[in-house]
Amino acid sequence: MHYPTDINLLFDATRKVIELTARLGSDQGLPDWRQHAYNVRHLKRHLRAAQNAKHSKARNEAQKATNDTRMIEAHKTYLEVAQGYLDKARETLAKTESYGGAGGVEYLVAKIQIETFMKHADRQIDQTRRRVILGETIPHAEKVFSVFETHTEWISKGKAGVPVELGLRVCILEDQHRFVLHHRVMEKQTDDQVTVAMVKETKERFADLEAFSFDKGFHSPTNQQELQAHLKLVALPRKGKLSQQAQAVESSEHFVKARRRHSAVESAINALEVHGLDRCPDQGIRGFKRYVALAVVARNVHRIGAILKERENRRAKRATRYAQRDSPHKLAA
């Protein structure tokens, strides 16, 4: 993963089209892509030219207009070069089919991969042209932040030092013994959209659970009402200014006690990140979900080990105290 912009995502997609098409053409005996390594370098030079043209510190209005024109021309050239390589790749695919190279699982897999990256490249060309040349604002819903892991989302953290992260949100539910009872990978979902589902799914496995504590992000009026039907105590802080009734509820002894225990979940989140979930090396959304599930299992096993080690330490200390008590009494002279 790298910081995504429309032009470097276009480079990623076009680079893969060149490399995969060159490999396919070589397997089929076509000489079209003998200089594919040079083609990638050529494309990257135009990428760098477009990137450098965006960085202008001019204060004079005339100079700003000149720089804007230069930036647009650099982007146009970059898009033309990328479009040229895509057109050439389509010609190569047509040749492999006309020469009888089509057929076989390996060919079909290669063709699907090439066409997939072509679609990514076409989208990035369209968005770059709309943004830079036509001056449009691209809606967030149309954006893709990785051509390799298309499920990647833009997560606004709103924290100092880490304002933004790229990945997927994961919701976890931890009990009072610091075991993770349930988790969910949130695809295009926010906290308030998974609150009730997390409680219901956890209650199906652990029917004795009666009290839950949540962050403010899980609050919504609907969630407040629905959770009351499943739990005896709902420690879900409301957003904004509180009414007198809400203040009375959130200042009650049981609510405050549950909220104080809630901070312990931060250690579980940190432990999951430290033990592998800071970055997922698996590919695809299925690999991401599998990796998260294994990390949760590893966290619970680690917790069991910590409990057993703590018990052994207490037994050792107790044995030491008893051994000191067994020392023989000395008689006074």
The residues, ordered by sequence, that sit 6+ positions from 225 with a Cβ below 8 Å of its Cβ are none
Q: What is the pLDDT of residues 28-75, one digit of tens each?
A: 888 889 999 999 999 999 999 999 887 767 677 887 888 888 999 999
Residue 137 and residue 131 in contact, taking contact as beta carbons nearer than 8 Å: yes
Q: What is the mean pLDDT of the chain?
A: 87
**What single DSSP character describes residue 216?**
G
Prediction pTM value: 0.79
d(CA 233, CA 255): 8
Domains of the chain: 6-142 (1.10.132), 174-263 (no CATH), 265-327 (no CATH)
Contacts of 4 (CB under 8 A, 6+ apart): 144, 145, 146, 166
Label residue 88 by pLDDT band (50, 70, 90): very high
Nearest to 70 by CA among 176, 258, 78: 78
Pairing of strands 180-186, 169-174: antiparallel
62-80 pLDDT per residue, tens: 878 888 889 999 999 999 9
- The pLDDT score that the predictor gives to residue 102 is 57
Closest CA to 290 of 181, 185, 186: 185
C-alpha distances in angstroms, 38 versus 13, 18, 87, 248, 317? 16, 10, 17, 70, 70
DSSP 280: -
Tell me what pLDDT residue 96 has: 85
Which among 179, 188, 177, 168 has a CA at the least distance from the CA of 277?
A: 168
How far is C-alpha 234 from the chain's CA centre? Answer: 29
- The CA dihedral of 260, 264, 269, 272, to the nearest 10 degrees, is -170
Predicted confidence (pLDDT) per residue in 124-164, tens digit: 999 999 999 999 999 988 999 999 999 988 888 767 667 78
Distance of CA 61 to the CA centre of its chain: 41
Distance (Å, whole) CA 138 – CA 5 = 12
Place of tokens 């225990």: 261
Tell me the residue ranges of DSSP E strands in the chain: 153-159, 162-167, 169-174, 180-186, 211-213, 233-235
What is the pLDDT at residue 288? 93
Number of neighbours of residue 304 by Cβ within 10 angstroms: 10
Q: Which of 18-22, 95-99, 100-104, 304-308 has the lowest mean pLDDT?
A: 100-104
Assign 99 a pLDDT band (cuts: 50, 70, 90): low
Instruction: Give, for 182, the enclosing helix (H) or strand (E).
Output: strand 180-186
Please write the tens of the pLDDT for every residue from 275-323. 778 888 888 999 999 999 999 999 999 999 999 999 999 998 888 888 7
pLDDT band of residue 241 (cuts 50, 70, 90) is confident
Q: Dihedrals φ, ψ of 32, to 5°?
A: -65, -30
Among candidate residues 213, 199, 207, the one with its CA nearest the CA of residue 265: 213
Q: Is the pLDDT of residue 264 over 80?
A: no
Listed in sequence order, the residues at least 6 apart from 286 whose beta carbon sits closer than 8 Å to its beta carbon are none
Tokens 């509180």 appear where? 242
- Range 27-43 burial, b when 16+ CB lie within 10 A, else e: ebebebbeebeebbeeb
Rounded Cα gap, residues 202 and 181, in angstroms: 7
Distance CA 91, CA 299 (A): 51
- For the cut 80, the answer to whether the pLDDT of residue 263 exceeds it is no
CA distances from 31 to 21, 90, 252 (A): 11, 15, 77
Q: Is residue 165 classed as helix, strand or coil in its secondary structure?
A: strand
pLDDT band at 11 (very low <50, low <70, confident <90, very high): very high
